[in-house]
Amino acid sequence: MALTVGLRPLTRALLRPWARVPGAALGRPAAGSGDGVRCFGSPRVLVEPDPAAVGVAVMKMRNPPVNSLSLEFLTELLISLEKLENDKTFRGIIITSDCPGIFSAGLDLLEMYGRDPAHCAEYWKAVQELWLRVYLSNLVVIGAINGISPAGGCLLSLSCDYRVLANNPKYAIGLNETLLGIIAPFWFKDVLVNTIGHRAAERALQLGFLFPPSDALQVGIVDQVVPEDQVQSTARSVMAQWLAIPDHARQLTKNLVRKPTADRLLQQRDADIQNFVRFISRDSIQKSLHVYLEKLKQKKG
Ligand SMILES: CC/C=C\C/C=C\C/C=C\C/C=C/C(=O)SCCNC(=O)CCNC(=O)[C@H](O)C(C)(C)COP(=O)(O)OP(=O)(O)OC[C@H]1O[C@@H](n2cnc3c(N)ncnc32)[C@H](O)[C@@H]1OP(=O)(O)O
């Protein structure tokens, strides 16, 4: 089945592979700075230069209540990342959350439940694009994971160069798709395998493990676990270590390591979208999503 993807103009401009965002939509000097410091804020994505680290931007996700990756939120993240990537002032980004206790609840289930195929296709394309942009970023990307991080939230974390997780037993991380009755796409799986190895990934994916911090560190899904109030400072120290390496050597090496994984998706993006749309549109999958969403509601009592 050939799929015609009707993209909205903003999304269309953004989601061409490696598209350049037209105009200077969001890039502007920080209010009152007058010193050339740039700030790429948007309603859901707060981006500020780190006052304590030259060349480092802190990107805070603010899509309450749970930073679910809706189409609009993904679009804003993409715009901000594109701006940072193009601004030679920055060499690194720390990605963190502004929603207490939640890094990201992952993909927005409401973008996949009860939606028509064209919408699902547009949504999936944005998900692909965010992954490619973070995974292949020329910048050093450090995840300062200050909350729970299931499924798509875990993918975002795994796409960073280094992950620092706050030591709170509630802050579990993992690809829990099977618990929802869905499956992690091959590129989610590839990134997990690359990170924790084949056997550990096999178990984690099938059982939908959400690892609490100590287990997350042991299996290697995160690189460091630190007290909650030290997540930012640790991310900053790690960033300094990564920025001590000449950019060109680090970037070429990153590309060497990551390109084969990204290429697997780049070579079949349209087919991947079609697979997703077919899969998510099945009655049985829609039912599973319905049951899961009801569970989330009932949890509230
Ligand atoms: C051939 C195959 C081809 C392709 C593959 C096909 C399919 C695979 C597709 C996609 C892979 C999926 C990836 C994902 O990321 S799926 C999302 C997984 N996320 C989760 O399981 C997390 C669910 N949420 C929670 O567990 C809790 O909300 C959380 C622990 C994060 C926070 O708990 P808290 O008690 O603080 O808040 P809640 O009251 O639960 O939630 C508040 C509010 O937010 C809504 N909510 C939560 N998560 C989501 C979400 N992911 N999407 C949309 N909305 C979400 C929740 O329902 C509440 O709403 P409301 O009742 O209206 O206030």
Per-residue pLDDT reduced to its tens digit, 13-70: 444 333 333 223 333 333 333 344 456 678 999 999 999 999 999 999 999 999 999 9
Kindly provide the ipTM of the predicted complex, given to two decimals: 0.98
First to last CA, the chain: 43
pTM value is: 0.91
pLDDT of residue 299: 81
Residues 6+ apart with CB under 8 A from 63: 44, 69, 70, 73, 99
> What's the CA-to-centroid distance between 108 and ligand 1, angstroms?
6
Q: Tell me if 49 CB under 6 Å of ligand 1.
A: no
Provide the token pair at 106. 């992952």
Provide the token pair at 123. 């949504």
pLDDT of residue 39: 61
CB 164 within 8 A of CB 235: yes
User: Ligand 1: which of 3, 61, 66, 111 to mutate, most ligand atoms within 8 Å of CB?
Assistant: 66
pLDDT of residue 206: 98
Ranges of H-type helices in the chain: 9-15, 71-86, 117-135, 152-158, 186-196, 198-207, 213-219, 231-243, 247-266, 269-281, 283-299
pLDDT of residue 89: 94
Instruction: Specify the DSSP class assigned to residue 110.
Output: G
Report the distance separating Cα 131 and Cα 153, nearest Å: 11
pLDDT of residue 300: 72
Atom 3 (ligand 1): residue with closest C-alpha?
276
> Counting atoms of ligand 1 from 1, which one is nearest the CA of 107?
15
Q: Which residues of the chain have pLDDT under 50?
A: 1-37
Q: Tell me if 41 CB under 6 Å of ligand 1.
A: no
